[in-house]
Amino acid sequence: MEIETYVGEPDKERLIAAMRGEKVDRVPNFEVLIEDEHVEKLLGRKAGNTLAVGGDPAKGIEESQNARPMYPEDYIEICNITGQDVIVVEALWTPFRKIKDGKSVIVGDRSIRTRQDFEKLIMPGDADIEEHLKYIREYKKAVSGTKIGVAVLFGALFQTVYEFLFKMNDFMLLIYDDRDFIEEVLEVSTRYWVKFVKAVIKEGVDIMYPADDIAYKSGLFIRPEIFKPMWLPRVKRIFGPILNAELPILFHSDGKLDEIIEDLIDAGITCLTPMDPYGIDYRDYKKRYGHRVALHGNIDIEDPLVEGSPQDVQRDVKEHMDVLKPGGGYVAGSSHSIVNYIPHENFVSMINAFHKYGLY
């Protein structure tokens, strides 16, 4: 099974228009991560995954250490094969650092217990931003002469803290026992991301892609009355320069977002991704929010992508298109990423179905 010829070349304007609810020729398709075995089958050679060569930043800080992004020429070829409109530079995690074995490494060992532990760290700064800017420049240069855009995946404000600085249990207890400390940590991260965003915008990127997992399948990790005052004002500060630059915001969080979706829309997000099917009913979200924010994803990586047949995948994509395509504002994609344990024929079937049923 191969990816079939599709209508319209990869074009960032298609994706941006769809995110803004405007008319397009077909529903755009987008995957933030295609893992290495699928990449090899698409290209006929090893090229890493679409976020990195020799690492996997989506799996965490340790996997991102010393990993460079996919070579843009390989990524552009994947876009031409699959019809995707943008390539993505990853800069997910706030780079708090410490010295280990004589080297500066990003902290990912959950070793912070106290304010004193935190104060010993090297705070993120200009050098960390420049490390990402050089790849953004590389990607921008590579897409020159094409219609393919560049998106930047960044901004795990909350997730960096609870997943890599602290053990989750310690983090949750500190929210109640010493919230000022957690606020101080979040404030350092926020100042970094505001500065990062301003620098990235100057490089001429096309889409800003903040990602911060803040919810389980049943709702927010932390009660809304506690979480929102800590998180929302800081996110709005990060979004501020993006909105001023009139760039689209593709916001990612897994889980059930009912308790905060209105706040996210009010904060200025353009598109919500990936509509985790274990927490979000796409029919309900289309009805309630589809006229105010674009929606991306929701094709379940478990069923049909892992457990189903290519025919099951086609059927599921058509059901999604029947609901989400009318009136625009839909970007097709999986509910997570194209992991290696998805059968390749199911991935191909999904892309072909997007192009078949996504035509306007």
Query: At residue 14, does pLDDT exceed 80?
Result: yes
Q: What is the pLDDT of residues 173-214, one digit of tens each?
A: 999 999 999 999 999 999 999 999 999 999 999 999 999 999
**pLDDT for 66:** 72
Q: 318 with 350: CB under 8 angstroms?
A: no
How many structural domains is the chain composed of?
1
Specify the CATH number for the domain of residue 222: 3.20.20.210
**pLDDT for 215:** 97
Residue at 249 is within a domain:
yes
Q: State which residues form the domain around 135.
A: 12-357
Residue at 78 is within a domain:
yes
Residue at 4 is within a domain:
no
Q: 124 with 97: CB under 8 angstroms?
A: yes
Q: 255 with 217: CB under 8 angstroms?
A: yes
**pLDDT for 63:** 73
Report percent pLDDT > 70 for the chain: 100
pTM: 0.96
The DSSP secondary-structure symbol of 70 reads P
CA distance 134 to 123: 20
Banded pLDDT at 61 (limits 50, 70, 90):
confident
**pLDDT for 58:** 76
Cβ-proximal residues to 154 (8 Å cutoff; 6+ apart), any chain? 90, 91, 92, 132, 193, 196, 197, 200, 208, 209, 210, 211
Residue at 290 is within a domain:
yes
CA distance 52 to 89: 9
CA distance 51 to 43: 16
**pLDDT for 95:** 96
* 340: nearest Cα among 301, 313, 285: 301
Banded pLDDT at 258 (limits 50, 70, 90):
very high
CA distance 273 to 299: 11
Q: What is the pLDDT of residues 95-148, one digit of tens each?
A: 999 998 888 999 999 999 999 999 999 999 999 999 999 999 999 999 999 999
Residue at 312 is within a domain:
yes
Least confident of 27-36, 56-65, 81-90: 56-65
**pLDDT for 213:** 97
CA atoms within a 13 Å half-sphere pointing along the CA-CB vector of 298: 26
Query: At residue 62, does pLDDT exceed 80?
Result: no
Please state the rounded mean pLDDT for residues 150-167: 96
Residue-averaged pLDDT of the chain? 96
Cα-atom radius of gyration of the chain, to the nearest Å?
20
Three-state DSSP class for 94? coil
**pLDDT for 129:** 97
Residue at 7 is within a domain:
no
276 CB burial (10 A radius; 0-12, 13-18, 19+): buried
- Write the CA distances from 242 to 47, 58, 193, 199, integer angstroms: 32, 23, 11, 11
**pLDDT for 299:** 98
Please list the alpha-helical segments (H only) found in the chain. 12-19, 36-43, 61-64, 72-82, 115-119, 126-143, 157-160, 168-177, 179-202, 224-244, 261-267, 282-289, 310-324, 344-357
Query: At residue 56, does pLDDT exceed 80?
Result: no
Query: At residue 332, does pLDDT exceed 90?
Result: yes
Three-state DSSP class for 106? strand
166-172 LR contacts (CB < 8 Å, sep 24+): 166/110, 166/112, 166/113, 167/110, 170/113, 172/222
Report the number of secondary-structure helices (H) and strands (E) in the chain: 14, 11
